[in-house]
Amino acid sequence: MASRIRQPYSGMIGNRQPGFLSILDPADANITPLEKSSGRRSVLANWLADPKNPLTTRVIVNRVWNWHFGQGISNTPSDFGLMGDRPTDKELLDYLTATFVENGWSLKKLHKMIVMSNTYQESSEFQKASAEIDPDNKYFWRWNRHRLEGESIRDSMLETAGILNLKMHGPGVFPPPRVPFGPGAGVPSPAGPSRTDSGMPRSRLPASARRTSISASRGA
């Protein structure tokens, strides 16, 4: 077997200019240096959010769909390239993406549209005839069972017990930490209520989460 000998490094090849994905935009990036920055990151951010860039919004929509259903319209949410899976329903992905852009990139409206759809409210009941046509449920003819988040389990238990406060808006809540703060445990959150004035625990949605410690209500 012949061995390949690495050639010695011969210096700089040349000045390489930043650019974008050549399949979408083959031209070099037009970068204007800022006062305290090279301007490269702002140019990249503007390109990602450009209405003429169809990739960013499709990836966002597919990831939100994947979060709700356990699988995306394209089942490779991290790979929209040639090696990724083709969307099972391209028209649906196009419609959700166009509506997402029309609504000003509002994730709240996108979530609402999905959870109020008939597809999201499908039963998990097995249907033999549908399974013979689409055994992997790529077209979402039934609801795929998947794990429920701890926050949702907690809120469901409190709702069943009739003690969940559904108050919306206002300041967030700061559950007390289970472990006292010590060196390297972070700085305590600002003083805030762990419950509302009624004494009923609020949902985990407006609760502050600290990465360096475990709150008292986490997993409760």
* % residues pLDDT > 90 (the chain): 23
Same domain, 158 and 171: yes
Same domain, 46 and 71: no
Same domain, 206 and 176: yes
For range 208-212, the mean pLDDT: 59
Residue 16 lies in a domain: no
Judged by DSSP in three states, 23 sits in coil
Same domain, 64 and 94: yes
Confidence at 151, pLDDT banded by 50, 70, 90: confident
Confidence at 194, pLDDT banded by 50, 70, 90: very low
Same domain, 95 and 82: yes
Residue 138 lies in a domain: no
Instruction: Report which secondary-structure segment, H or E, holds 100.
Output: helix 90-102
pLDDT of 206 > 60? The answer is no
CA distance 159 to 156: 5
Cα(first)–Cα(last) distance of the chain, in Å? 63
Cβ–Cβ under 8 Å, residues 202 and 167: yes
Same domain, 172 and 111: no
Query: What single letter denotes the amino acid at residue 195?
Result: R
Count of structural domains, the chain:
3
CB atoms within 10 A of CB 141: 14
pLDDT tens digits, one per residue of 158-167 = 889 888 887 7
Confidence at 175, pLDDT banded by 50, 70, 90: low
Residue 94 lies in a domain: yes
Residues near 83 by beta carbon (within 8 Å), at least 6 away in sequence = 76
Same domain, 41 and 105: no
Confidence at 1, pLDDT banded by 50, 70, 90: very low
Q: Which domain holds residue 100?
A: 55-133
Confidence at 46, pLDDT banded by 50, 70, 90: confident
Instruction: Output the CA angle 45-23-37, nearest 5 degrees.
Output: 25
CA distance 152 to 193: 21
